[in-house]
Amino acid sequence: MEIQEKVIKIVSEATKVDASNIKAETNFIDDLNLDSLDMVEMMMKMEEEFGVEIPEDKTEDLKTINDVTSFLKSAN
């Protein structure tokens, strides 16, 4: 599975938003109404799924699906 596809799947499962409505440019806060706690939980799921550690100062920059996908690609 492509990284982006996997990211969308995780986000979809956590938010109960249908995967077809989540795109690369989808913004977690503006489009999915996630709050700060939702964001922490989401990043934990990414860490667990992809076996990476997302530094706390980095999480603030990850605002869209694309941001996360790019970060994960660079981290691998």
Least CB distance to another protein at residue 37 (A): 4
Q: Name the phi and psi angles at 18, rounded to 5.
A: -60, 135
The answer to whether residue 35 is catalytic is yes
Q: Which of 31, 35, 57, 67 is an active site residue?
A: 35
Count the site residues for another protein by CB under 8 A. 11
- DSSP string for 28-59: TTTTT---HHHHHHHHHHHHHHHT----HHHH
Q: Which of residues 11-50 bind another protein (CB under 8 A)?
A: 14-16, 36-37, 40-41, 44, 47-48
Kindly list the catalytic residues. Answer: 35
